[in-house]
Amino acid sequence: MQYYLIYITTKDEEEARKIGKTLVVEKLAACVNIHPIESIYRWGGEIREESEIAMLVKTKAELVDEVIKRVKELHSYEVPCIVSLPIEKGYPDFLKWINQSTK
């Protein structure tokens, strides 16, 4: 079984909580962590600096595409940051919990 972290940024905590709760309720994610961050990025030919919320989603490899699709449906950004990173190693009982907590 392979597991992934999915990194997402959102405009605010309300949006992050909505997305995170949906993913957990629908068993697309075992857990979602929400963290305030400061972002510097280029958009529309301008450099911007803004507060955002970062999310770390824990899920199984086979659910990554479905998570990306669902996040895009719920997200307010035109081009949201949604990237997946494979978990190469982890505490076996934790990984087992991810498996048991997702569909």
Spatial CB neighbours of 16, under 8 Å, sequence gap ≥ 6: 8, 10, 32, 34, 53, 55
> Which pLDDT value is given to residue 9?
98
pLDDT tier at 54, thresholds 50, 70, 90? very high
The structure's pTM equals: 0.95
pLDDT in tens, 10-42: 999 999 999 999 999 999 999 999 999 999 999
Extract the tokens encoding 21: 């709760």
**Distance in angstroms (rounded) separating the CA atoms of residues 75 and 16:** 9
Please check whether residue 72 is in contact with residue 82, taking contact to mean a CB–CB distance below 8 angstroms: yes
Count of beta carbons in the 10 Å neighbourhood of residue 75: 20
**CB of 30 within 8 A of CB of 17?**
no
Best CA proximity match to 86, nearest among 54, 61, 66: 61
* Domains of the chain, earliest start first: 3-101 (3.30.70.120)
